[in-house]
């Protein structure tokens, strides 16, 4: 779904403020060039202070005042934190998890499978929708907030799980026991009445299926909310959700607790929350991968519903970085930048997660930089909204494989998202833009010249056949260790690994171990000429870590062997011509600088031209609604960067700092980017 203009704004909470300043805030928001606020998702106990008693005073204040000032509104359903009276009336709404019973206080600790919770959810949403219906400047609705299952293991959830499993296996216990291997350790289930509490299982197939079911609870919960909201919403109003990501004190990778592709089906527009390190640690990587995932969910532009202004401790951006970050979101296909939140909160757990305004609620450096962003969005928005990305490379991500590596770890600390980010970040630094795909995107494989499957542990035969067909028809495939090991229920295949792909890769393996004091030698891919090949070192001492498979090439060529006194006869990386394409298998985890030449080698085989620029200069491209190519150059570093422009004559649309660049750039012109600087070019399509 497209938007008419760029949306720029923040979350706003009248009910949190220590004084009545709504007129002042709306004037400041408008003066900053912001055109949207996001409200209501956190305040069920304010809207319904007692069971069946409703008070929407703050809601109407925000809606009336924003309308008066010409500010649009996104209304959130307030269902991700339950009021005290609801927890008192139904104590088991605070769910039990693998860690035991919960306690009231935290948000997102309720049981989304609880029938009375769902009943009250429907009531508050319907009441809210009735209240907001008269306001024409409400442009859309956000369902819940960063929704997950919250690891509910309640009796309600487990009863639904058993019903789900009975349907999955057509009421056939023999089929279930065989698929999950429950004869092991006498875990066999011989009666549905004997189905055990899932929290005790040591069986990866059963445990992973429950995690998949928990993701389905999220999908069903959002679909239920969407159906209610849709029955009230006007045709032009969108329905979204602020999906988030794996969290390592900032956004890190694929969200393990939600099947976002499935959950997005009930939405009309994808939304996301992207948080990242800033100041000296700002790289743009989180903005890029988060945008790629969000873009993938509906194959369209998306909304950034939350990102940081001042943010968490240590995230205060350097001067100029707030603008750099805002335009980085647009460069990845976002149609909005919205901050969490407008004003810093004066009490509770997020008091020091600072908003645009600090605790004194006055203008500050962050606000003044936001004003400049707002002015830029207003002036140049028609050139930057609805950017269409055309990537030649894609990475296939998979929730089932992520779950599998939780049950069957890869080394002591290497997780699925580490493997994803290892490859994504290397491509990012090489300026190879990537889309993200899921298993449901089999029909789209052929659109890409290069396809990468990081640790695709769990595969169906349909998927392996699609990958084989992709290579046979001319695609270049890179798969890593732990690809095509088990079926979709995590039962390990008993043929040669990687299952269904040994002919495609021209190799197999049957042994693996830790990469301790292991390097790589005879790296054939370093002989190619590419901008990341800084030296031709054929002895990468101790660059293999965590996991190594002892590859046995058949038809494949050995692209690298292990540098080790005992494993030196085994291949570490292989490549194989199959049909009209090429398939490489990376059997070990290495440092990022070792994997870059391999990726460059595969890009060359795929016909993907690598730009001269490498990180910290990041290049992003897309086609705008005016059918012009937009090219962004970002400098994610403290040092000035000089680049040489190549291509057709381009108009210099916008710069990060004051610039003396010529308004029209020609092939061969030199560009200088100051620290944390950027420029945006517009040119005719080739």
Judge whether 589 and 405 are in contact, CB under 8 Å: no
Strand segments (E) across 524-639: 539-549, 552-553, 557-563, 571-578, 581-586, 588-590, 617-623, 628-635
- Given a cut of 80, whether residue 529 has pLDDT beyond it is no
Strands 72-76 and 36-39: parallel
Q: Which of the four pLDDT bands, split at 50, 70 and 90, describes residue 686?
A: confident
3-state secondary structure at position 434: strand
User: Long-range contact list for 422-425, CB < 8 A, 24+ apart?
Assistant: 422/454, 422/589, 422/592, 422/595, 423/395, 423/452, 423/454, 423/478, 423/480, 423/595, 423/599, 424/285, 424/288, 424/289, 424/292, 424/395, 425/285, 425/289, 425/592
pLDDT in tens, 242-286: 999 999 999 999 999 999 999 999 999 999 999 999 999 999 999
User: What order of strands is seen across the sheet that includes strand 650-655?
Assistant: 617-623, 628-635, 678-684, 650-655, 664-665
In whole angstroms, what separates CA 111 from the centre of its chain? Answer: 25
Mean pLDDT lowest for which of 33-47, 265-279, 646-660? 646-660
Report the pLDDT averaged over residues 319-338.
98
pLDDT in tens, 207-243: 999 999 999 999 999 999 999 999 999 999 999 999 9
Using CA atoms, how far apart are residues 9 and 341, in angstroms rounded to an integer?
A: 9
Judge whether 395 and 30 are in contact, CB under 8 Å: no
Using CA atoms, how far apart are residues 589 and 522, in angstroms rounded to an integer?
A: 17
Instruction: Write the CB contacts of 504 (distance below 8 Å, at least 6 apart in sequence).
Output: 467, 468, 471, 472, 477, 576, 578, 583
Instruction: Write the CB contacts of 95 (distance below 8 Å, at least 6 apart in sequence).
Output: 102, 109, 110, 111, 114, 150, 151, 152, 153, 154, 157
Which phi and psi angles does 399 have, rounded to 5°?
-65, -40
Instruction: Write the CB contacts of 571 (distance below 8 Å, at least 6 apart in sequence).
Output: 507, 551, 552, 553, 556, 558, 559, 560, 561, 562, 587
User: Residues 547, 552, 553, 559: what is their CA dihedral angle, to the nearest 10 degrees?
Assistant: 30
Q: Give me the residue label for tokens 């011509």.
A: 577
Q: Give me the residue label for tokens 């937009």.
A: 630
pLDDT in tens, 530-573: 445 444 445 677 899 999 999 999 999 999 999 999 999 999 99
Percent of the chain with pLDDT over 90: 94
Mean pLDDT lowest for which of 229-233, 287-291, 348-352, 453-457? 348-352
Residue 616, CB half-sphere, CA atoms under 13 Å: how many?
Answer: 18
User: Residues 19, 23, 26, 30: what is their CA dihedral angle, to the nearest 10 degrees?
Assistant: -140
Predicted confidence at residue 536, as pLDDT, reads 43
Q: Which of the four pLDDT bands, split at 50, 70 and 90, describes residue 658?
A: low
Cβ density class 374-407: b for 16+ within 10 Å, e for less = bebbeebbebbbbbebebbbbbbbbbbbbbbbee
| Exposed / middle / buried, residue 302 (Cβ in 10 Å: 0-12, 13-18, 19+) | buried
Report the pLDDT averaged over residues 589-609.
96
Predicted confidence at residue 661, as pLDDT, reads 65
pTM: 0.96
pLDDT in tens, 96-128: 999 999 999 888 899 999 999 999 999 999 999
Using CA atoms, how far apart are residues 267 and 255, in angstroms rounded to an integer?
A: 18
CA torsion through residues 420, 423, 424, 426, sign: positive
Judge whether 245 and 251 are in contact, CB under 8 Å: yes
Residue 60: which H helix or E strand, with range? helix 57-68
Using CA atoms, how far apart are residues 185 and 197, in angstroms rounded to an integer?
A: 16
Q: Which of the four pLDDT bands, split at 50, 70 and 90, describes residue 660?
A: low
Which of these, 48, 45, 53, 52, lies nearest to 16 by C-alpha position?
A: 45
Judge whether 328 and 285 are in contact, CB under 8 Å: no
Strands 552-553 and 641-644: unpaired
pLDDT in tens, 605-633: 999 999 999 999 999 999 999 999 999 99
Which phi and psi angles does 530 have, rounded to 5°?
-155, 155
In whole angstroms, what separates CA 195 from the centre of its chain? Answer: 35
Residue 252: which H helix or E strand, with range? strand 251-253
- The structure tokens listed for 130 are 């009735």
Report the pLDDT averaged over residues 21-47.
97
- Go through the chain and tell me how many residues it has: 686
Q: Name the maximum alpha-carbon separation found in the chain.
A: 78
Mean pLDDT lowest for which of 131-140, 466-475, 561-570, 662-671? 662-671
């Amino acid at each position: 779904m497209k938007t008419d203009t760029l949306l720029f704004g923040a979350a706003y909470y009248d009910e949190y403020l220590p004084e009545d300043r709504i007129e002042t805030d709306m004037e400041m928001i408008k003066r900053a060039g912001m055109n949207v606020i996001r409200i209501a998702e956190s305040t069920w106990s304010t809207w319904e202070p007692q069971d069946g008693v409703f008070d929407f005073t703050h809601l109407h204040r925000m809606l009336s005042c924003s309308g008066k000032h010409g500010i649009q509104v996104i209304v959130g359903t307030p269902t991700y934190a339950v009021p005290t009276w609801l927890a008192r009336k139904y104590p088991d709404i605070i769910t039990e998890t693998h860690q035991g019973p919960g306690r009231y206080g935290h948000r997102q600790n309720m049981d989304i499978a609880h029938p009375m919770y769902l009943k009250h959810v429907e009531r508050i949403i319907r009441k809210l929708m009735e209240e907001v219906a008269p306001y024409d400047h409400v442009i859309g609705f956000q369902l819940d907030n960063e929704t997950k299952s919250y690891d509910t293991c309640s009796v309600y959830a487990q009863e639904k799980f058993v019903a789900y499993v009975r349907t999955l296996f057509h009421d056939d216990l023999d089929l279930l026991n065989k698929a999950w291997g429950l004869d092991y350790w006498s875990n066999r289930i011989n009666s549905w009445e004997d189905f055990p509490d899932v929290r005790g299982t040591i069986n990866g197939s059963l445990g992973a299926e429950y995690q998949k079911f928990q993701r389905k609870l999220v999908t069903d919960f959002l679909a239920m909310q969407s159906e209610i909201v849709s029955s009230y919403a006007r045709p032009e109003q969108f329905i979204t959700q602020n999906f988030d990501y794996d969290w390592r004190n900032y956004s890190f990778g694929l969200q393990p607790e939600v099947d976002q592709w499935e959950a997005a089906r009930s939405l009309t527009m994808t939304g996301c929350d992207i948080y990242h390190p800033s100041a000296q640690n700002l790289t743009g990587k989180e903005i890029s991968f988060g945008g790629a995932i969000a873009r993938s969910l509906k194959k369209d532009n998306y909304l950034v519903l939350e990102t940081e202004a001042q943010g968490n401790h240590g995230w205060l951006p350097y001067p100029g970085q707030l603008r750099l970050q805002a335009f980085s979101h647009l460069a990845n296909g976002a149609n909005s930048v919205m901050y969490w939140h407008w004003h810093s909160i004066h009490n509770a757990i997020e008091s020091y997660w600072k908003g645009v305004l600090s605790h004194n609620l006055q203008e500050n450096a962050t606000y003044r930089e936001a004003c400049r962003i707002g002015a830029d969005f207003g002036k140049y928005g028609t050139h930057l909204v609805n950017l269409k990305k055309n990537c030649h490379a894609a990475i296939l991500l998979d929730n089932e494989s992520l779950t599998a590596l939780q049950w069957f770890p890869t080394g002591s600390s290497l997780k699925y998202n580490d493997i994803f980010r290892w490859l994504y970040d290397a491509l990012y630094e090489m300026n190879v833009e990537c889309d993200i795909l899921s298993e449901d995107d089999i029909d789209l494989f052929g659109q890409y010249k290069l396809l990468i499957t990081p640790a695709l542990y769990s595969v169906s035969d349909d998927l392996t056949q699609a990958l084989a067909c992709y290579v046979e028809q001319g695609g270049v495939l890179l798969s890593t260790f732990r690809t095509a090991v088990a079926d979709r229920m995590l039962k390990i295949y008993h043929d040669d690994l990687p299952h269904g792909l040994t002919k495609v890769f021209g190799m197999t393996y049957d042994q693996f171990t830790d990469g301790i004091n292991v390097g790589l030698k005879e790296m054939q891919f370093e002989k190619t000429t590419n901008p990341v090949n800084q030296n031709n070192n054929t002895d990468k001492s101790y660059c293999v870590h965590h996991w190594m498979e002892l590859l046995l090439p058949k038809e494949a060529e050995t692209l690298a062997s292990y540098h080790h006194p005992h494993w030196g006869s085994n291949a570490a990386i292989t490549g194989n011509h199959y049909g009209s394409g090429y398939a490489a298998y990376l059997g070990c985890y290495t440092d990022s600088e070792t994997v870059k030449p391999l990726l460059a080698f595969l890009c060359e085989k795929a016909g993907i031209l690598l730009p001269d620029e490498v990180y910290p200069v990041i290049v992003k491209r897309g086609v705008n609604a005016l059918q012009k190519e937009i090219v962004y150059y970002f400098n994610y570093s403290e040092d000035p960067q000089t680049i040489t422009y190549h291509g057709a004559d381009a108009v210099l649309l916008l710069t990060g700092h004051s610039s003396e660049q010529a308004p029209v750039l020609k092939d061969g012109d030199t560009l200088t980017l100051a620290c944390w600087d950027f420029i945006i070019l517009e040119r005719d399509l080739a």
